[in-house]
Amino acid sequence: MFPLKACVFITLVGTVCSRSLLEDAPKDTPKFHKLGLKKMETASQAAKKEGALLQRKYGTLSYTGSDAVGLYNFEDAQYYAEIKVGTPGETFKVVMDTGSSNLWVPGHKCTSAACLLHKKYNPASSSTYVANGSAFSIQYGSGQLTGVFDTDDVTLGDFVIKGQSFAESTVEPGIAFVAGKFDGILGLAFSRISVGGQVPVFDNMVAQGLVSEPVFAFWLNRTSDLVSKTTTGGEITFGGLDASHYTGPITYVPLADENYWLFKVDSIESKGVFAKTTFATNTMAIADTGTSLLAGPKDEIKKIQQHIGAIPFLNGEYLVLCKLIPTMPNIEFVINGVTFTLEPKDYVLQIEGECLSGFMGIDLPAGNPVKYILGDVFLGKYYSVFDKGNKQVGFAESTSGAEQAVKAKTMTITL
Ligand SMILES: *[C@@H]1O[C@H](CO)[C@@H](O)[C@H](O)[C@H]1NC(C)=O
Ligand SMILES: *[C@@H]1O[C@H](CO)[C@@H](O)[C@H](O)[C@H]1NC(C)=O
């Protein structure tokens, strides 16, 4: 489905460093959205069951056939935000997912268990609803989620996206969505992987002039990872960056394609005292906020697991002995010539007394250009910039940062 032109067209164009895209922006009032994120509290089972989800998500969204692994749990360790759909509007919690491109919420005709336990969109109570009626269908491990397309205004903080196409579900399969604290999903990837030709929300934000720059950035709060499983939050800025949440230069890497946020990783390695171990070179990865772990090809991930001393557990996942964390090696990702280091404290998730390796093996269907999925394990350590205008992704050292006032047209939602 995706042309395999990645390695041809990626060249090392040198690292573009910039404190903020806004510095280069025209001097008129920047339009800047700042959106608070909340992390699901039950960050445990999800991580353990995410393998199935990954298979499903990347196995079928854009590729025919392939896997049939069950999706059991979808809610966990997902970062979600609140949006409003319609006028005056119903509020929904949606996973902010850079690994997909559709927006859907539970629909008024849905009688699945998940819909009974979540808010439902009702066109009749919105004065801005416009009928569409085309069928929507997306495959998850637990089955087919079906619905219909509608058009309505969608509110993100203070900003209203007019005439956004989205899907309201009619059937939500299995228990996955029942347990989820989120109501729906808001995809932030490209239209090419959008089901049914739905124009993604961010594309409309850009087209409607809501943001001054076609860029958004994620900060994910991981501060409590090794301490407890308390709720952590995060922040998305739409239209610019939040300099309080990163430090040092931003390393940009050109997009290999505009489907997922797909880019080249030069190498994945670990430096020992005497030798360097290389797990992969010239591979392709995506930045995916909707995935909690860091996934890659099973054979390569197996070498990483052996290197860090992890032992196989379930569903392609591995455990480590918590007491060995201080002695475990760093794993390095070289992206556009710059090394991004994950220390054990970054890649080990402590869940209910168990220590889970943040690396997970997954073999995506042949022909899928995606080899590695850099989920929250990576994006928690590195502030991530999704730059549509310049067709690039950027990473910088994340900092917990202090809240600071941003620009005039700022929207902040704290969840
Ligand atoms: C219905 O929605 C789909 C998905 O956004 C879109 O491709 C299609 O053009 C819409 N049809 C009408 C009649 O508005
Ligand atoms: C990050 O999360 C921790 C623990 O949940 C919290 O105490 C801290 O205030 C959060 N940091 C920011 C900057 O919000």
410 residue type, one letter: T
132 CA distance to ligand 1 centroid (A)?
A: 6
Q: Could you report the per-residue pLDDT of 348-386, keeping only the tens digit for each?
A: 987 777 888 999 988 888 888 899 999 988 998 999 999
The span from the CA of 75 to the CA of 77, in Å, is: 7
Atom 11 of ligand 2, nearest CA residue = 400
Q: Which residues of the chain have pLDDT under 70?
A: 1-78, 141-142, 176, 223-232, 401-415
90 residue type, one letter: E
**Peptide bond before 88: cis, by omega within 30 degrees of 0?**
yes
> Phi and psi dihedrals of 311, rounded to 5?
-115, 145
Tell me the helix, strand and coil percentages in the chain, rounded to 5. 20, 40, 40
Q: Which residue from 162, 163, 137, 141 is spatially nearest to 150, judged by alpha carbons? A: 163
Candidates 76, 153, 257, 288; catalytic one: 288
The span from the CA of 327 to the CA of 369, in Å, is: 34
Atom of ligand 1 nearest to the CA of 136: 4
Q: Could you report the per-residue pLDDT of 144-183, keeping only the tens digit for each?
A: 899 999 999 999 877 899 999 999 999 998 776 777 778 9
Q: Could you report the per-residue pLDDT of 280-300, keeping only the tens digit for each?
A: 999 999 999 888 889 999 999
Candidates 67, 76, 97, 376; catalytic one: 97
The span from the CA of 220 to the CA of 260, in Å, is: 19
The yes-or-no answer on residue 28 being catalytic is: no
Kindly state the DSSP code that residue 118 receives in the 8-state scheme.
S
Judge if the beta carbon of residue 233 lies within 6 A of ligand 2.
Answer: yes
Atom of ligand 1 nearest to the CA of 198: 5
Ligand nearest to the CA of 147: 1
Judge if the beta carbon of residue 197 lies within 6 A of ligand 1.
Answer: yes
Instruction: Considering only CA atoms, give the Rg of the chain.
Output: 20
